[in-house]
Every structure is written in structure tokens, then in C-alpha cells.
Chain A
């Protein structure tokens, strides 16, 4: 078997490197997937533009550091705020007017919003890739025995876990969180009970986009080439991650993100001849999951009332 040969030839250092990469990518997917799962939980729609929000966040960070010469930690804050506002703006203009429209119209509008962001970025920032600014403190290497690992590879999972904890706190222990849970359980009842649905939805988009912005910043440090289309593939994969975990379930999205991130890195590591099919991996996992467990690994069972 070729695979055993590959593993046998792999040094411990290389393996550790792959695992670290897998954890980083998985964490980034998880952060972005949370945004999908939250919006789906409440509006039952794919926010197709979420991946492009990640892309915009990367450009915000790029301009903050490279053009306005802000220190990187301030740029993070600015990026998060701007991205959250962008998320809310998209919801306000592209989704809210269609609240009572057929689902397909909302889906088309979401696709339209995504397409618009891509074209806008292409027009404003040009289609040529830009190099995400270097942040030496995050990019330096740490030696663990014979293994060299970038600081960012440690920062990413830590930040992800921190973000997840804060989010779970908001969802489970604050009033806004309670309203979110109510709306996702039963939209109509929540409305009748006097919850301001529009505010809850705006908050959901802002939180999801803010997490995406954090993810985007770290993405930029780890994978520095940014282009207007960079959000598309991660966006699709993170939606798939959310579906794998069970859409609407935040922990499930994180789990799904890790499965995809790890899986992708390991495929490239152990089956180098398949590396061209790396992007197909997520879609294949999606089909398999939907076939055997359509509600995802941690999702609740839904049944259509007849």
C-alpha cells in the first residue's frame, strides 16, 4: 500500500507540521462556518455572501495596515467593526425586503449579493492578488524540538476557542441570545411574543460577520494572497462544514469546520497525487453526510408536517 509507504517515510516533524496546519485551517473554517449556521438557524437561508464578507474583511485589514499604516491590533478592531456593519448592511438591503417572499427569491438575492460584492471588489481593488501585510510577531517561527511552527498556527485555534466561548455565552446567557434562540425555534411565535425580529436578525448578522472578520484576519496572515474571488471556495466549504455539523448548531459548525480542515490537509499530505482534488473533498463529504444523516452530525431531526 502506497499510503503506508507515505506515512512511513514521513518524519515526525512533517507529521506535526501537517497536524498544526490541519488545526489552523479547521479553526478558520469553524469561525466562518459559525456565521452560516447562525443565519441559517434563524432565517433558514444560506447567506451566500458570507464568504465574500470574509474577502471584504481581508481587504479592510489590508487597507488598514498597508494604506493607512494602522498598527495591526487596531486594524483588527476596525476590521471587525466594519465587517459587522457590512454584514448588517447586506441583511438590511438584500434580505430584509424579501422576508415574506418565496424561499427561492431569497436564495437568488443572496447569490446576487455575493456576486455584487465580488464584482465590487474586483472593480475597486482590481483583480490582481494583493499581498496581505506582514505581521512579523505572528509570522515568526517557534521551535518545538525539531519542528518549526509559526506563531499564527497557535494563535488561530486559541482565538477560535475564545470566540466560540464568547459566542456561546452570548447565545446562552444574554437577552439577545435568548431572543435569537427563540426566533430560531419558532419565528412566528417569537414575533407574536413581541421580540423585535429585525433587531435579532441584524444582531445575528453582525455577530456572524464579526467572527468572520476575525477569521479573515488570521486567514490573511496564514494565506497571504488576497483576491476578490478568495472568499468563494472557503465560503462554500464553510457552509458545508455547517451542514456536516448539523445546520443551526454552533458547536456542530465548529466540529464540521475541523473535520473539513483536517481532512483537506491530510489528503494533500498522505495522497499527494490527489492534491488536485482537494477542493472536491468538501463536496464529497457533503453528499455522503446528506445521504446518510441529512440533519448533520449534531442536528435535530426535522419532519415536514403533512
Chain B
């Protein structure tokens, strides 16, 4: 079953077509990669799926926990997050002045049922929710080895830890679908390998569907069930890692075409 699908979405910025007529079918539980040269429109796809941009045309559908499919095209980012799609950003966007713990605890806010006044007055039903959230955050942080540095300011962490924290923060919203925008950007091979393991681990543990943009081909080929290739906004190929590796158009897009040949 498709947890996330699009029926040919297009994004036009003035005269530029950043993405044209992209059809995605992402099955529940898969790890799907979106690859392509720089400027191919990958992040634009993420921005459409998460509601930052409204597609110029086309629709995006998401299947809820209940099995009901809903059209999420042009919904507010916060509403999409509430439905169960969480994301990270290409250029890490942590809450810089806040601690690791606060960063993750904030991600619990979207499921809060207590209204503003009961929260402010710390009424019992709010305290129950709050304590529950805190317990969950504690478990989560312990399971990813960030518990010991929970009081550190998030901007003071080393780069690799910041990337990891951003993923953990997204996880704390209890998503069904996790969108990772270049999670391994700027990492060395060792760190990339760690990250690969980490993504696999959370994918299995939280029964996630992972949709990621990535340039590190080792990582992509290692863990993806399905790969979409984007070039100048066009989807030029789709398939398993093996199929993609032997696809001529993909090789051309990455290496350039020799016009004389």
C-alpha cells in the first residue's frame, strides 16, 4: 500500500520549472531515496510534500494510520507534521539556543491535548501529559545515546551530533513517514557508515517509511528499496539500486553527455 503518493506534481517558480510532473509511489515501510545532480529539484519535492510550497499543479496523497487516504496538497506544514510526516533540513535547523533535551521535548507539543490555560496553570491532566512526554523523550534520548549530553546547547554539539539530533527531534513527533534531506552531507566515510546503521536501526525500530535525499551513493545503494532519479526537475528513472546503477540516462545525467558520441 502507498503511504505517500503524488499524481504528477509540478512546481513552477516564475519561468523556472523546478519539478515537473513527478509521480511518486512510496510504499509503507520502504526506504526510498531521491537522488540527482545539484539543482535537480530534490529539496523542492520535500518542500511540497511537507507543505512549505504548494505545488503549481498536481496532488499529494497520504494514507493515515486508519488506512484512509487524504489529500495533503497545500496543507499547512504544521498540519502535515501532525498527520505523521516529519522532516529534517539540508542546512541543519535546530533550535540553536535551546538544549538537546528541549529540542526534542518541543517535538512532543504537536500531540498535546491540554488547552493553553490548563497547560499554563499546570493542571493535573496537563501534568500527566507532560510527564508522559518527558518519559518518552528520556527513553528516546537514551536509546540514541544523547541522554548524557541533554543539557548541552544544541548549537554547541559537533556537526555529526547535530545531524543526529535533528533526526531524533523529527522522530519525537512519532511520524509514520520520515523525510531526511541529505542526512550525510559533510560527513566522512566513517560517519556516513554510522549514519547508515542509525537510519536502518530507527527504520526497523519505529516501523518507519523513510524518504531521503542523499548524495552519498554508498549509503543510498546500501539501504534503499527504491530510488527516484531527478534531473532538471524531471524524473528520469525509478527502480531498485541495481536497476538504477545500470541505467544509461542516470549515468548520462551524472557524468554528462558526450555530444559527439
Which A residues have a C-beta under 8 Å from some C-beta of B? Answer: 301, 303, 306
Alpha-carbon distance A301/B13, docked complex (angstroms): 11
The answer to whether B174 has its CB under 8 Å from any CB of chain A is no
Count contacts between A and B, CB distance < 8 Å.
6
Q: B13, B14, B47: which contacts A306 (Cβ < 8 A)?
A: B47
The answer to whether B6 has its CB under 8 Å from any CB of chain A is no
Q: Interface residues of B, CB < 8 Å — how many?
A: 6
- A sample of 6 inter-chain contacts (CB < 8 A) reads A301-B14, A303-B13, A306-B43, A306-B47, A306-B52, A306-B89
Which B residues have a C-beta under 8 Å from some C-beta of A? Answer: 13-14, 43, 47, 52, 89
Give min CB distance, B8 to chain A, whole Å. 23
Alpha-carbon distance A29/B15, docked complex (angstroms): 36
Alpha-carbon distance A306/B18, docked complex (angstroms): 14
Alpha-carbon distance A306/B42, docked complex (angstroms): 12
Closest B residue to A303 by CB, please name it: B13
Consensus secondary structure, chain A interface: loop
Closest A residue to B52 by CB, please name it: A306
Closest B residue to A304 by CB, please name it: B52
Give min CB distance, B170 to chain A, whole Å. 15
Give min CB distance, B49 to chain A, whole Å. 12
Q: Give 6 closest A-B pairs by Cβ, nearest first.
A: A306-B52, A306-B47, A306-B89, A306-B43, A303-B13, A301-B14
Closest B residue to A301 by CB, please name it: B14
> Which residues of the partner chain B approach A303 to less than 8 Å between Cβ atoms?
13
> Which residues of the partner chain B approach A306 to less than 8 Å between Cβ atoms?
43, 47, 52, 89
> Which residues of the partner chain A approach B52 to less than 8 Å between Cβ atoms?
306
Closest A residue to B181 by CB, please name it: A306
Give min CB distance, B202 to chain A, whole Å. 23
> Which residues of the partner chain A approach B13 to less than 8 Å between Cβ atoms?
303
> Which residues of the partner chain B approach A301 to less than 8 Å between Cβ atoms?
14
Closest A residue to B77 by CB, please name it: A306
Give min CB distance, A22 to chain B, whole Å. 36
Give min CB distance, B98 to chain A, whole Å. 16
Give min CB distance, B66 to chain A, whole Å. 30
Alpha-carbon distance A306/B52, docked complex (angstroms): 8
Give min CB distance, A160 to chain B, whole Å. 33
Give min CB distance, A301 to chain B, whole Å. 8
Alpha-carbon distance A303/B43, docked complex (angstroms): 14
Give min CB distance, A202 to chain B, whole Å. 33
Alpha-carbon distance A301/B43, docked complex (angstroms): 20
Alpha-carbon distance A306/B48, docked complex (angstroms): 11
Give min CB distance, B179 to chain A, whole Å. 12
Alpha-carbon distance A107/B231, docked complex (angstroms): 43
> Which residues of the partner chain A approach B14 to less than 8 Å between Cβ atoms?
301
Alpha-carbon distance A124/B254, docked complex (angstroms): 70
Alpha-carbon distance A31/B52, docked complex (angstroms): 39
Closest B residue to A305 by CB, please name it: B91
Give min CB distance, A54 to chain B, whole Å. 38
Closest A residue to B91 by CB, please name it: A305
Closest A residue to B93 by CB, please name it: A306
Closest A residue to B89 by CB, please name it: A306
Alpha-carbon distance A301/B16, docked complex (angstroms): 14
Give min CB distance, A163 to chain B, whole Å. 33
Give min CB distance, A192 to chain B, whole Å. 20
Alpha-carbon distance A284/B234, docked complex (angstroms): 45
